[in-house]
Chains A and B, each alone.
Chain A
Amino acid sequence: MSNAPQLIGSSGDSLREAFGKALVGLADEFPNLVVLDADVAGGTGAHNFRTAHGHRFYQFGIAEQNMVAAAGGMAATGLIPVVTTFAVFALRALEQARLSVAYANRNVKIVASHPGLDVGPDGASAQCLEDLAAFRAIPNMTVISPADQIETELATRAMIEHVGPVYMRTGRSPTPRIFGSEHTFKIGKGQIVRDGTDVTIVACGVQVARSLDAATLLNGEGISARVVNMATIKPLDHDLLQRCAIETGCMVTAEDHNMFGGLGGAVAESLVQRSPCPVEFIAVNDRFGQSGEPDELVQHYNLGITHIADAARRAIKRK
């Protein structure tokens, strides 16, 4: 925990590349790990694994439903299949993830790159603003959305060590470094990455870095904002949320996802049952995306730093 924003800079890799490299590093330790791709390995980071361990890389072609259900079958022989595709195409195999992975309780990891508006110019057909809601609604499914490269590496390991179905969202654009090498990741645990007393901003994925910047902005106005990195959407860290609700009295959630059913929905569900407080949502307001550069889209759909800061002021007023 620190009182200063920890942004290390925006140089590094995208989360998808961090995931791909982390996976290669885990190959020796987990000899049963195999990687499945649907003709997008260049985009998901899985190409790293294909290059390093070709005999453990299975190409399924553009056939995501078969790939996900087949991963369930592969897991039923003792393998740990890591299914990689773009988030929106993982959604296409949602029912396979439900029946052949989660209901059968198979040790399959579904790792989806290209989530949210961050996909950019490809437009709405390639963007995915529904995955957190959809996968979160499936029993047995763990849902993770790491915030930077370091956390993606740690989350990749944690996901493989965890026995059971996992959905993990990576990201397309290069993402600011937030954490140093001392960072830890535990499934089901959020962390306070910047402390504050007036409002808590709970964020996941690419929105954590923006939330930290928003907290800096607010600080200039004398508003003390706490930022929580909630990398596990399910199971959610209810204890931390309850503590933050009590200590700061209001909240903002920030995610690159539709307003309904994602991180914001999960946080709201948790708070109304444990410690109700005003909550403002930073998310796409139940609209489809469109073509544009990620930064332009972030502004257009009100996901930016100033939007988060505005939401924090609104939340504080509602206390």
Chain B
Amino acid sequence: MTTSPSHPDLRETARLIRCHSIASIYVATSGHPGGALSAADLLAYLYSAEIGDEEPRDGDLTRNRFILSKGHACPALYAALAVKGQISPTDPLQLRKLGSTMQGHPHVGALPHVETSTGSLGQGFSAALGMALGIRHQGGSGRVYVMLGDGEMQEGEVWEAAQCAAHYKLDKLTAILDYNKMQSDDLNENIIGLEPLADKWRAFGWHVVEIDGHDFAAIEAAVAEAKRTTGKPTLILAHTLKGKGVSFMENYPTWHGSVTMSLDDTEKSLIDLGVAQSDVPGWLDGTIHGGHTQ
């Protein structure tokens, strides 16, 4: 793994995203860790380099937007917002709590930094395409990034949207596939195989860049390539590891979720991530243990 020359802190950012994600899922006593951890490096890059600090307002057509179409991985999205300082560092610990802005799947009505409500797979991609279309219709310059899961690609709506985005030559729309090869119950190939995936997207009229989704230099180069590409949308096909960063989760579909993490699981995860408990907001002051029903 190399870090990006222009963003030297990415490794630390990603580490913090992972640590907030784990802590919030532990406190919530449910949530999806595997797909949050696989996406953490991609999110670290996007929120460091591409997504600005602007208040998310509908009419602002110059800001870039990010939509997490695989909404179940929202602990990583909330963590990215917390690390960036757009929400408070302890907000993610409200994950899945009654009345919380940190809904179990992202909801724009609860947290405006979320661009649209997701959680039903496939829809966030269409919504992102609609945003790209709406921005272009009104002459805006904002780019739209959307993250998809590999299992999500079995949903027909994804291919409806892929055709549509290519038809409208939405070159400011960039889809990022968190290609961790696993979905809820099993490996993709044991559920419904996806390959040859890059060929499928190319055949649908997309520009495809294939990278290691944990390599920051590669992520940066891929995003730059997407920005240079005109006349077609770009898919960044990012090979990742489900559960990345936590040794006992890596490549175990059982950690897809929605799981309850024990204190022991959580402590082991933090050790793997190289995070001291004192680094986790709320760990030492009792917020975390207060919220956890053991």
- Do A and B associate with each other? yes
B178 within 8 A of A: no
A69 with B119, Cβ < 8 A, contacts A61-B163, A63-B163, A77-B131 known: no
The verdict on A60 contacting chain B, using a C-beta distance below 8 Å, is yes
Q: Does B275 contact A (CB under 8 A)?
A: no
Q: Which residues of B contact A61 (CB under 8 A)?
A: 160, 163-164, 167
A69 CB to nearest B CB, Å: 3
Residues of A within 8 A of B8 (CB): none
| Nearest neighbor of A58 in chain B, beta-carbon distance | B133
Q: Is B13 an interface residue (CB 8 A)?
A: no
**Would you call A176 an interface residue if the criterion is a C-beta within 8 Å of the partner chain's C-beta atoms?**
no
Q: Contact check, B163 vs A70: say whether CB atoms are below 8 A apart.
A: no
Smallest CB separation, A68 vs chain B (Å): 8
Q: How far is the CB of B132 from chain A (nearest CB, A)?
A: 8
Cβ–Cβ contact A69 & B123, under 8 A: yes
Q: How far is the CA of A72 from the CA of B117 in the complex (A)?
A: 10
Cβ-neighbour of A104 out of B116, B138, B157, B164 (below 8 A)? B116
Q: Tell me the minimal C-beta distance from A242 to chain B in angstroms.
A: 32
Query: By the criterion CB–CB under 8 Å, are A76 and B131 in contact?
Result: yes
**Choice from A34, A69, A76, A81 contacting B157 with Cβ under 8 Å:** A69
Contact between chains at B116 and A34 (CB < 8 Å): no
CB distance from A103 to the nearest CB of B (A): 5
Docked Cα-Cα span, A105 to B137, in Å, equals 21
Question: Judging by beta carbons under 8 Å apart, are A71 and B130 in contact?
Answer: yes
A99 sits at the interface (CB 8 A):
yes
A69 CA / B125 CA spacing, docked (Å): 8
Q: What chain A residues lie within 8 Å of B109 (beta carbons)?
A: 103-105
Complex interface: chain B residues within 8 A of A78 (CB): 58-59, 61, 134, 138
Total interface residues on A, CB under 8 Å, equals 30
**Chain A 74-85: CB-based contact to B (< 8 A → 1; otherwise 0):** 111111010000
**Could you tell me the distance in whole angstroms from the C-beta of A293 to the nearest C-beta in chain B?**
34
Question: Which residues on the A side are within 8 Å of B132 (C-beta)?
Answer: 73
Q: How large is the interface on B (under 10, 10 to 19, 20 to 34, 35 or more residues)?
A: 20 to 34
Contact B160 A77 (CB under 8 A): no
Q: Are B133 and A65 in contact (CB under 8 A)?
A: no
Shortest CB distance A107–B (Å): 9
Is there a chain B Cβ closer than 8 Å to A195's Cβ? no
Q: Pick the contact of A72: B59, B130, B160, B167 (CB < 8 A).
A: B130
A66–B119 CB distance below 8 A: no
* B 93-111 binary contact with A (CB < 8 Å = 1; else 0): 0000000000000011100
B107 to A73, Cβ gap below 8 A? no
The verdict on A70 contacting B61 (CB below 8 Å), with A34-B137, A76-B134, A77-B140 known, is: no
Question: Which residues of chain A are near B126, meaning CB under 8 Å?
Answer: 65-70, 72-73, 96, 100
Q: Which residues of B contact A (CB under 8 A)?
A: 58-59, 61, 107-109, 115-120, 122-123, 126-135, 137-138, 140, 156-157, 160-161, 163-164, 167
Which 6 residue pairs across A and B have the least CB separation, nearest first? A73-B130, A77-B134, A70-B130, A69-B126, A63-B160, A66-B160
A sample of 28 inter-chain contacts (CB < 8 A) reads A61-B160, A61-B167, A63-B163, A65-B122, A65-B123, A67-B126, A69-B122, A69-B126, A70-B127, A70-B161, A73-B126, A73-B134, A74-B130, A75-B58, A75-B134, A76-B108, A76-B115, A76-B116, A76-B127, A77-B58, A77-B130, A77-B134, A99-B117, A99-B119, A100-B117, A100-B123, A103-B109, A106-B116
